[in-house]
A and B are shown apart, each in its own frame.
Chain A
């Protein structure tokens, strides 16, 4: 039942109850009582919503709106107060090569990490969903990266990537590869960070897929077996469509996360070398808290907000049609 249907249903019920109350609807007193009762119900509803509304407004909506307003003003400095500057901040942004670099990096980051993390998560979930030995241990192992704090994980990976005596190069040497300065070259630094993100996120998403897989009715698989369906057919005709809602949920989250990445950039590369790993949120942090250009940071934040809003809207509208709801 969609929320809308629910609402209509409950309204009908209220109306029926009112009528069933035995009072004639044409009496003025009864009408007033009815209105009061409805008002009470409305009030109750709003009161129930109030805590969530207050929290959301204080920490999400008011800051978002004030950020948009701030982005139309210049940055106040010392004795110089903020002055209305129309779209100046946005003009600066269009001419700012580092902003474009950060946006490019971030799009690349999302386009590469999201599909990889999702497919890995699904593969891992399928793997630990079946009856295999050591299933619990395997699930735990896949999930471990998620429980590590990002900064701690980033420091571990920092050691993996250390040229020459880092873990990756040590393993590489066994196969005859030389020392590679993973984080110190413009071409390898961003992929190196992407690997950390995939490693960190895949295990988390696996949990959602695992839950979804366990909801799939075994009858369907039994029926498929009776029809002699191949494994691929079972996956593509039964499993994949039935976990689609989860895939959408995970995809939205992964995409939003891809634009929210900042910890490992700070811990591992500081955006370097030469902005090769500068992502949008890191750049916003740098502009706001290293350069103290709060007006420009507000403009950058507005762009990030818009990007995220558009992305989630597009995903909902485009993917909604291909999703199987039960």
Chain B
């Protein structure tokens, strides 16, 4: 009998600890975050939440891992539709218009009140803020952001008679170097390609680098108009397709995003374009000397930025919005930004993060980490519009059609422009 009572008492105690409210009125906030790179990210995020709670005993943060970027948006939107939105979330910077159109997020500059908060909003790299502002408001703050860089195999360069310390600096270099680096056997089978620019899934992002270098901007700042078939855009798309079809320095057809780093490690390609987020991955897996360089240039240099911002969701409980803001501020202090950058390979989002001791030590040890930061001065906003996924899909389809040779670049992009115009029409008045 006493055993029975013991069990009942234990169960009651457990229930009380699970469902009972703590003595003080703590504000509880939910934090959704995705994982898009390798490493023990969940552990790091949990430790950040714990450190925050130590500083703010009156706020309880519940971090929730929500899958990929795509999954995270789906979960946040569905939860919001069910009246149970997260209070704060990391989502793609390009999801901004989608979140605004669905009336889900609060402009950060309307929650902030103090002068210190206003100063905080101006402390980030301007290139990262391009994707965070619209209609005179800041809707998100940069958290895990990246750019595209080129990685090259120095050993392969040496073997092809090229200067191993000089990466392609122009489009002409890309073709000329590529021709030297592409190795064919007697039967015409290629054992090593000059270059790989991935084109599966989201080819628009890598293409945007080429368009930027040809000095074309794909969308206006308010996200209501796109320029998919301007002469320079078409020229960039034609060059993208020509790399495989005409110059034959890149594999024909679609190049998979996921296997591109593997191709690079296996020596199947001498140069690859991919995110700075792969830096740690390449450092650990490349069995040869490699270099990291900014994008080459045509009329100018440059790359789009990428990655995720922190958004604060609308809530009638203003205490929760304030708590969410406090947490966002905590995650983006110079020390935290530096720590996150070192742990993941993302670019630390503010200049003063690079002056911290930890970051200085990391950069001295691994100078390649500085390339992405230095490229920020040439960076442009990642393509983002209203009804973003649909408008970018039109461009993705057109690029894939041009790359697989099913349509000429000009015709494919004309179609994409017409489709984008149709989708964006309701937002243009």
Residues of chain A at the chain B interface (Cβ within 8 Å)? 77-79, 158, 162-165, 176, 178-179, 181, 183-186, 269-270, 272-275, 286, 289-293
A-B contact pairs, 22 of them (CB 8 A): A163-B251, A178-B187, A178-B189, A184-B253, A184-B255, A185-B404, A186-B404, A270-B201, A272-B200, A272-B254, A272-B397, A273-B200, A273-B253, A273-B254, A273-B403, A274-B398, A274-B401, A274-B404, A274-B406, A289-B74, A290-B70, A290-B389
- Find chain B residues with CB under 8 A from A179 CB: 189-190, 251
Min CB–CB distance B264 → chain A (angstroms): 12
Cβ < 8 Å to A, chain B residues 336-361: none
B390 within 8 A of A: yes
Pair A273/B400 contact, Cβ less than 8 Å = yes
Interface size for B (C-beta < 8 A) is 37
Residues A77 and B406 in contact in the complex (CB < 8 Å), given A185-B254, A289-B74:
no
Residues of chain B at the chain A interface (Cβ within 8 Å)? 70, 74, 77, 98, 101-103, 187-190, 199-201, 251-256, 258-259, 263, 266, 268, 387, 389-390, 393, 396-398, 400-401, 403-404, 406
- Find chain A residues with CB under 8 A from B403 CB: 273
Pair A77/B254 contact, Cβ less than 8 Å = no
> Once the chains are docked, how many angstroms separate the CA of A286 from the CA of B396?
14
Pair B102/A181 contact, Cβ less than 8 Å = no
> Once the chains are docked, how many angstroms separate the CA of A150 from the CA of B102?
34
Pair B102/A77 contact, Cβ less than 8 Å = yes
> Once the chains are docked, how many angstroms separate the CA of A50 from the CA of B331?
53
- Find chain A residues with CB under 8 A from B254 CB: 181, 183-185, 272-273
> Once the chains are docked, how many angstroms separate the CA of A226 from the CA of B190?
62
Min CB–CB distance B245 → chain A (angstroms): 12
Q: Which of B101, B256, B258, B406 contacts A184 (CB 8 A)?
A: B256
Q: Which of B103, B199, B268 contacts A78 (CB 8 A)?
A: B103
- Find chain A residues with CB under 8 A from B102 CB: 77-78, 292
- Find chain A residues with CB under 8 A from B401 CB: 273-274
User: Which residue on B lies nearest to A269, using beta carbons?
Assistant: B200
Pair A186/B406 contact, Cβ less than 8 Å = yes
**7 other contacts beyond A273-B403, A291-B390, with CB at 8 A cut-off?**
A79-B103, A162-B259, A179-B189, A184-B404, A185-B253, A185-B404, A274-B398
- Find chain B residues with CB under 8 A from A158 CB: 258
Min CB–CB distance B251 → chain A (angstroms): 6
Which 5 residue pairs of A and B lie closest in terms of their CB atoms, listed nearest first? Answer: A184-B254, A184-B253, A78-B103, A273-B400, A181-B253
> Once the chains are docked, how many angstroms separate the CA of A292 from the CA of B255?
28
Min CB–CB distance B156 → chain A (angstroms): 16
- Find chain B residues with CB under 8 A from A183 CB: 254, 256
- Find chain B residues with CB under 8 A from A286 CB: 393
User: Which residue on A lies nearest to B253, using beta carbons?
Assistant: A184
> Once the chains are docked, how many angstroms separate the CA of A164 from the CA of B187?
15
> Once the chains are docked, how many angstroms separate the CA of A181 from the CA of B405?
14
Interface-central residue, A77, A162, A164, A269, by most chain B CB under 10 Å: A164
Min CB–CB distance A144 → chain B (angstroms): 25
User: Which residue on B lies nearest to A293, using beta carbons?
Assistant: B390
Min CB–CB distance A244 → chain B (angstroms): 42
- Find chain B residues with CB under 8 A from A185 CB: 252-254, 404
Min CB–CB distance A1 → chain B (angstroms): 48
- Find chain A residues with CB under 8 A from B251 CB: 163, 179, 181, 184
Pair B268/A270 contact, Cβ less than 8 Å = no
Pair B101/A78 contact, Cβ less than 8 Å = yes
> Once the chains are docked, how many angstroms separate the CA of A290 from the CA of B391?
11
Min CB–CB distance B419 → chain A (angstroms): 9
- Find chain B residues with CB under 8 A from A186 CB: 404, 406
> Once the chains are docked, how many angstroms separate the CA of A273 from the CA of B396?
9
- Find chain B residues with CB under 8 A from A275 CB: 397
> Once the chains are docked, how many angstroms separate the CA of A91 from the CA of B123?
49
> Once the chains are docked, how many angstroms separate the CA of A160 from the CA of B187?
23
Min CB–CB distance B107 → chain A (angstroms): 14
